[in-house]
């Protein structure tokens, strides 16, 4: 006879206010990542600010309101694994700190380094199924590992969370849960599509030319991946696969158009593999119990040797700046943190190791400052305080709206000349002089082609 878990469910059910009341001064509290963000509990915890002191919170790409209630950090110390728009503003105002790490480290980070440092974890999940399981849905990432080590596990149930088939570690059983909160007030976060520029369209066009039938793709965050998806549909490519950290609207559209089938994948054939999703409500509905999708923890999706098992793996990621030696900064402007390392380095390495694979770093050649002056994003050296997201030794293909170059096997003088060739035309002479002054382009190489 099937076990009825409803009695245990009712016994563990508490209000969001009661859940927030579990938090005591000095505790470490971990939130679920991205769409696993517990919106209702966060609201109730923020309301308790005056009662608490030195509560440390770890979150990721969250929509938290806590730093807004406590901008001076008298009560809460907010920390983020990866900054989204909301947390970016808090960081600018000194109310949030970044945690440097590679995204694929997440589960190990909890099971090894933080195993005694999580007092409570609050995670958004699906409603319970008949077997007593809750699914992490659009945010498998590192959630199961957090549940394993937390002293108290509190799930916030949301009917809008899609049930995503795994993989593994995509669900948690009611026996592993201390408390349950039902959230009928907030949907899971939506992430609006980025504004697409002519530069994005030009870069996407160059990228689409590099992708052939049967390739497996990873698309990072931003406008360029969205345009790449549109172009791949127009090019009538066949049997593409997906192995990515993020699943987004562009990928959904590729599946709906029949471009992505996964038939030729050498790893997990027929399945679009990812560890989290970020997009529209339509995307989340599409994901719900979709047998073509497989949600895995991030130490599977982002492990470079696992990525490399996909033949013809394509990795497409964006950057803020690249210097003339090939160092890539994708996450900060000087000491001001913009986002995080994420999985960019892991996918750059994994795609490069893949048989027939390609790893692309994409960026606009230039931008305009507040005074309208044109500033190159290809720079002689990174700014003081810039975080190096991808070391020069790992970078291969770099794309701007002016072309594509491959830095592998090139000396520094060749790299400098190659990158200058895809810089904004009006800034190339200036960059060349800077490269000569820095000694990147040497006396004997000034007149040589790269």
pLDDT tens sequence across 21-47: 999 999 999 999 999 999 999 999 999
**Pair (177, 208) in one structural domain:** no
Q: What are the pLDDT digits (tens) for 287-297?
A: 999 999 999 99
pLDDT band per the 50, 70, 90 thresholds, residue 228? confident
**Pair (408, 317) in one structural domain:** yes
Going by the DSSP 8-state scheme, the letter that residue 337 receives in this structure is E
pLDDT of residue 341: 93
pLDDT band per the 50, 70, 90 thresholds, residue 235? confident
**Pair (79, 132) in one structural domain:** yes
- Report how many domains make up the chain: 2
**Pair (335, 242) in one structural domain:** yes
**Pair (256, 209) in one structural domain:** yes
pLDDT of residue 81: 96
Residue 189 lies in a domain: no
Q: Counting beta carbons within 10 angstroms of the beta carbon of residue 392, is it exposed (0 to 12), middle (13 to 18) or buried (19 or more)?
A: middle
Residue matched to tokens 């048989």: 355
Residue of 276, 357, 375 whose CA lies nearest to 320: 375
Residue 217 lies in a domain: yes
Tell me the CATH number at 170.
3.40.1080.10
pLDDT of residue 449: 83
End of a domain among 156, 182, 208?
Answer: 182
Residue 261 lies in a domain: yes
CA 242 to chain centre: 15
Q: What are the pLDDT digits (tens) for 345-383?
A: 999 999 999 999 999 999 999 999 989 999 999 999 999
**Pair (227, 285) in one structural domain:** yes
pLDDT band per the 50, 70, 90 thresholds, residue 226? confident
Question: Within 13 Å, how many C-alpha atoms sit on residue 336's CB side?
Answer: 8
Give 301-327 as a DSSP string.
Answer: HT-HHHHTTSTTEEEEEE-SEEETT--
Residue 193 lies in a domain: no
The span from the CA of 219 to the CA of 318, in Å, is: 9
Q: What are the pLDDT digits (tens) for 159-213?
A: 999 999 998 999 999 999 999 999 999 999 999 888 889 999 999 999 999 999 9
Residue 187 lies in a domain: no
**Pair (124, 202) in one structural domain:** no
Residue 450 pLDDT exceeds 90: no
Tell how strand 321-323 and strand 378-379 pair up: parallel
Residue 10 lies in a domain: yes
Residue with more model confidence, 3 or 248: 248
pLDDT of residue 241: 98
Active site residues: 245
**Pair (271, 207) in one structural domain:** yes
CA torsion sign for 254, 256, 257, 261 is positive
**Pair (125, 44) in one structural domain:** yes
Residue 190 lies in a domain: no
Q: What is the arithmetic mean of pLDDT over 385-403?
A: 97
pLDDT of residue 14: 98
**Pair (312, 412) in one structural domain:** yes
Q: What is the arithmetic mean of pLDDT over 63-73?
A: 90
For 172, the 3-state DSSP assignment is strand
pLDDT band per the 50, 70, 90 thresholds, residue 236? confident
End of a domain among 158, 182, 206?
Answer: 182
Q: What are the start-end ranges of the E strands in 227-364?
A: 241-242, 246-247, 272-274, 276-277, 293-295, 313-318, 321-323, 328-329, 332-333, 336-337, 358-362
Cβ–Cβ under 8 Å, residues 270 and 245 = no
Going by the DSSP 8-state scheme, the letter that residue 417 receives in this structure is H
Q: What are the pLDDT digits (tens) for 13-22?
A: 999 999 999 9
pLDDT band per the 50, 70, 90 thresholds, residue 151? very high
Q: Which residues contact 108 (CB under 8 A, 6 or more apart)?
A: 145, 299
Window from 140-144, 230-234, 386-390, 426-430 with minimum mean pLDDT: 230-234
Tell me the CATH number at 340.
3.40.1080.20
pLDDT band per the 50, 70, 90 thresholds, residue 314? very high
Instruction: Please give the structure tokens belonging to residue 444.
Output: 């004997």
Residue 224 pLDDT exceeds 90: no
Q: Which residues contact 31 (CB under 8 A, 6 or more apart)?
A: 37, 38, 42, 57, 58, 59, 60, 62, 64, 121, 122, 123
Residue 188 lies in a domain: no
Residue 238 pLDDT exceeds 90: yes
pLDDT of residue 1: 60
For 379, the 3-state DSSP assignment is strand
Enclosing domain of residue 217:
198-445
pLDDT band per the 50, 70, 90 thresholds, residue 218? very high
Task: Give, in degrees to the nearest 5, the angle at Cα 383 between 398 and 100.
Answer: 80
Residue of 424, 422, 326 whose CA lies nearest to 373: 424
**Pair (120, 215) in one structural domain:** no
Going by the DSSP 8-state scheme, the letter that residue 240 receives in this structure is B
Give 94-132 as a DSSP string.
Answer: TSEEE----GGGHHHIIIIISTTS-SEEEEEEPPP-TTS
pLDDT of residue 421: 98
**Pair (393, 338) in one structural domain:** yes
End of a domain among 182, 211, 232?
Answer: 182
Residue 222 pLDDT exceeds 80: no
Q: Taking the model in full, what pTM does it have?
A: 0.95
């Amino acid at each position: 006879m099937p076990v009825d878990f409803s009695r245990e469910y009712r016994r563990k059910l508490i209000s969001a206010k009661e859940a927030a009341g579990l938090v005591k001064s000095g505790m470490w509290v971990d939130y679920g990542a991205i769409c696993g963000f517990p919106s209702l509990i966060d609201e109730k915890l923020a309301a308790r600010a005056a009662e608490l002191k030195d509560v440390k919170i770890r979150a990721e790409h969250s929509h938290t309101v806590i730093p807004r209630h406590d901008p001076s950090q008298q009560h809460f110390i907010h920390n983020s694994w990866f900054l989204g728009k909301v947390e970016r503003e808090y960081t600018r105002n000194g109310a949030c700190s970044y945690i440097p790490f590679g995204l694929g480290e997440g589960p190990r980070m909890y099971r090894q380094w933080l195993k005694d440092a999580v007092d409570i974890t609050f995670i958004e999940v699906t409603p319970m199924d008949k077997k007593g399981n809750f699914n992490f849905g659009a945010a498998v990432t590192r959630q199961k590992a957090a549940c394993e080590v937390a002293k108290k596990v509190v799930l916030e149930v949301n009917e809008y969370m899609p049930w995503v088939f795994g993989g593994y570690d995509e669900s948690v059983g009611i026996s592993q849960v201390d408390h349950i909160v039902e959230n009928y007030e907030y949907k899971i976060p939506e992430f609006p599509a980025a504004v697409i520029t002519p530069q994005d369209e030009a870069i996407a066009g160059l990228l689409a030319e590099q992708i052939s039938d049967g390739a497996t793709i990873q698309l990072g965050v931003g406008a360029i991946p969205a345009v790449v998806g549109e172009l791949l549909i127009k090019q009538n490519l066949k049997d593409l696969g997906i192995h990515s950290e993020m699943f987004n609207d562009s990928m959904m559209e590729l599946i709906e158009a029949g471009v992505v089938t996964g038939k030729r994948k050498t790893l997990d054939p027929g399945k679009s593999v990812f560890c989290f999703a970020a997009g529209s409500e339509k995307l989340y509905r599409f994901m719900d119990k979709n047998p073509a999708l497989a949600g895995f923890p991030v130490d599977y999706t982002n492990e470079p040797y696992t990525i490399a098992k996909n033949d013809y793996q394509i990795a497409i990621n964006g950057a803020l700046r690249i210097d003339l030696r090939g160092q890539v900064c994708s996450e900060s402007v000087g000491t001001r943190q913009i986002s995080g390392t994420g999985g960019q380095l892991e996918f750059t390495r994994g795609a490069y190791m893949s048989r027939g694979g390609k790893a692309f770093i994409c960026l606009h050649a230039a931008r305009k400052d507040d005074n309208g002056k044109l500033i190159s994003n290809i720079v002689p050296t990174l700014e003081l305080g810039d975080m190096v997201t991808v070391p020069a030794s790992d970078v291969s293909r770099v794309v701007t709206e002016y072309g594509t170059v491959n830095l592998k096997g090139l000396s520094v003088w060749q790299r400098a000349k190659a990158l200058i060739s895809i810089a904004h035309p009006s800034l190339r002479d200036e960059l060349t002089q800077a490269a000569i002054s820095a000694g990147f382009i040497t006396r004997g190489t000034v007149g040589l082609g790269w």
